[in-house]
């Protein structure tokens, strides 16, 4: 079963390949990005951390344990050490030999063929020294500012990006409906507290918290919203019908436009 977006809706909404087309290939690898490039996705989402020697690398967790054959924190491993690890075989033996990519490799591969949504993560205990500046520098070097968007859960990361002398769209990721819990006012659920994110173009919300009224409330406050992460065709369709501006999915190949 596929999700076919009618023309009028299709033009307005975005499909985001989550961690690349990570349902088809190991997450956050060049293989997953190549698969995503072959779909109708508008954006490819990837996560970044920083190696011991200050290189921006594409991996979801702060440690290499879950997705590779190695162990340890990304922050304690050099790029050369990270490059020795196999980031493919845990997904499927046919991907053996797939490596943790650098952000530079990903920028080179995507090259504006689709938009890139880069999520800046923090380390196990600390923020990475210089991750924001290094990410912005790479975007500049690859002339990727027209087709790159940055997102983060972490306010200090977003604030460092907003303070930089470089304008790039940013999205704020929220857990639940924070920053403030919804409250009932006049028998209606009200949401607030997003003023401090006025520099963000979008507030990105977990699918569990998506509803028509919450999305409308975000729109009324001037934000777009991308909802993550939904793989069931019926649910993807419902999120678009609720008013989501984008849906992140591990299976972007399931969404097509007519």
27 binds, among ligand G3P, Ca ion, none (CB under 5 to 8 A by kind): none
* Of 50-58, 111-119, 133-141, 163-171: span binding Ca ion (CB under 5 A): 111-119
Complex with ligand G3P: residue 194 or 228, whichever CB lies closer: 228
Supply the minimum distance, in Å, between the C-beta of residue 251 and ligand G3P.
14
Q: Which helix (H) or strand (E) holds 203?
A: strand 202-206
The C-alpha angle 175, 128, 63, rounded to 5 degrees, equals: 70
Complex with ligand G3P: residue 73 or 96, whichever CB lies closer: 73
| Whole-angstrom distance, CA of residue 134 vs CA of residue 50 | 9
Complex with ligand G3P: residue 20 or 88, whichever CB lies closer: 20
Q: Which helix (H) or strand (E) holds 5?
A: strand 3-5
Residue 49 annotated in active site: no
228 binds, among Ca ion, ligand G3P, none (CB under 5 to 8 A by kind): ligand G3P
| Whole-angstrom distance, CA of residue 66 vs CA of residue 84 | 16
* Helix extents (H) in the chain: 7-12, 30-37, 79-83, 103-110, 131-141, 155-163, 212-220, 233-242
197: DSSP letter? G
Asked if 241 and 248 touch (Cβ cutoff 8 Å), the reply is no
Supply the minimum distance, in Å, between the C-beta of residue 111 and ligand G3P.
21
Residues that bind ligand G3P (CB under 6 A): 18, 45, 47, 60, 119, 173, 204, 228-229, 248
SS3 label, residue 90: coil
Decide: is 47 part of the binding site for Ca ion (CB under 5 A).
yes
User: Which of 27, 98, 119, 253: binder of Ca ion (CB under 5 A)?
Assistant: 119
Supply the minimum distance, in Å, between the C-beta of residue 220 and ligand G3P.
23
Supply the minimum distance, in Å, between the C-beta of residue 61 and ligand G3P.
9
34 binds, among ligand G3P, Ca ion, none (CB under 5 to 8 A by kind): none
One of 18, 49, 171, 251 is an active-site residue; which one?
Answer: 18
In 28-133, which ranges are E strands? Answer: 43-50, 56-58, 115-120
SS3 label, residue 236: helix
* Helix extents (H) in 84-207: 103-110, 131-141, 155-163
Residues that bind Ca ion (CB under 5 A): 47, 119
**Which of the residues are catalytic?**
18, 60
């Amino acid at each position: 079963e596929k999700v076919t977006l009618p023309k009028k809706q299709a033009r307005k909404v975005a499909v985001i390949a989550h961690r690349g087309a990570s349902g088809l290939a190991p997450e956050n690898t060049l293989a997953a990005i190549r698969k995503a490039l072959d779909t109708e996705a508008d954006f490819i989402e990837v996560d970044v951390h920083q190696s011991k020697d200050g290189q921006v690398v594409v991996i979801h967790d702060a440690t290499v344990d879950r997705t590779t054959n190695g162990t340890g924190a990304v922050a304690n491993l050099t790029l050369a050490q990270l490059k020795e690890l196999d980031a493919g075989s845990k997904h499927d033996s046919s991907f053996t030999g797939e490596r943790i990519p650098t952000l530079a490799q990903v920028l080179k591969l995507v090259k504006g063929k689709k938009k890139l949504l880069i999520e800046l993560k923090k380390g196990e205990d600390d923020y990475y020294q210089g991750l924001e500046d290094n990410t912005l520098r790479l975007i500049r070097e690859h002339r990727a500012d027209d087709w790159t968007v940055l997102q983060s859960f972490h306010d200090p990361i977003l604030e460092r990006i907003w303070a930089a002398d470089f304008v790039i769209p940013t999205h704020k990721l929220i857990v639940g409906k924070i920053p403030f819990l919804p409250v009932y006012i006049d028998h209606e659920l009200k949401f607030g507290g997003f003023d401090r994110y006025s520099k963000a173009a979008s507030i990105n919300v977990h699918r569990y918290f998506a509803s028509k009224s919450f999305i409308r409330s975000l729109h009324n406050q001037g934000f777009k919203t991308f909802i993550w992460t939904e793989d069931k065709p019926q649910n993807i369709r419902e999120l678009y019908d609720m008013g989501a501006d984008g849906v992140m999915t591990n299976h972007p190949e399931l969404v097509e436009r007519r």
